[in-house]
Amino acid sequence: MKKRWWLSFILATVLLSSCSANENKVAEIEPAPESEYAKTFDELVLGTLFDFKLEVQNADQRWVKLWVERYQDGKKDVDSVVDLIYGESLDETDEGHVGFGIINSETDEPLYFLYAPDIKLNPQKSSKKANLQSSMATWEYAFKDEKVSLALDEEKVLAAYRSTTSNEMRTVDMSDPNDLEKMIQEDSEVLLLKILITENKDAHY
């Protein structure tokens, strides 16, 4: 009898935890490095593109913010390099591609742009001059080959573009806040693509 009661208790706990996790999950996002967006960008040799497939639940009640933070020599720029806010979709579930692109130039500063379903910002320069004197650069998704759940009011790093004036760069686990901070302090320049989903548009300002 006690054993049966204990098994029932464990099962109830697992079900409650599962329900709680599903309630907190408001979206799913997955890297799409082989998408037509990414392939076209690569074929035209334009620069770097981070492309994702995003599905937002209860999208008619949500606001999504995408933005890019820049750190130079460990110091964060006051303003975002570029940002985009959209929400209150006409559909309950909103699916589509979101991403961040960097258009390189041999003689001038790069151009940056963000896009989301039915929205695309014109490429623009950052308000603060970028560090162009780098000897090495790399770019990577924060999570590869996997779909990640996003919770309401959770700020999430999606990708990073890094450059350095030294001759070496170490690998980084961007899911580890300590490793992320070390990367910011060690590299000459870091661009972080982030996402945040809320119920209130004002929370993004």
Q: pLDDT tier at 130 (50, 70, 90 boundaries)?
A: low
Output the pTM of the full model. 0.85
CA–CA separation, 160 and 48 (whole Å): 11
Residue 23 confidence (pLDDT): 55
Residue identified by tokens 């579930």 is 93
Q: pLDDT tier at 10 (50, 70, 90 boundaries)?
A: very low
Residue 134 confidence (pLDDT): 64
Q: Under a CB-based contact definition with an 8 Å cutoff, are residues 188 and 73 in contact?
A: yes
Residue 18 confidence (pLDDT): 39
CA–CA separation, 72 and 81 (whole Å): 12
Higher pLDDT, 76 or 165: 76
Q: Mean pLDDT over residues 88-113, rounded? A: 90
Burial of 163 (0-12, 13-18, 19+ CB in 10 A): buried
Residue 74 confidence (pLDDT): 93
For residue 51, pLDDT beyond 80: yes
Strand partners, 150: 27
Residue 108 confidence (pLDDT): 74
* Strands 63-72 and 189-198, bridge-based pairing: antiparallel
Residue 8 confidence (pLDDT): 46
Average pLDDT over the chain reads: 85
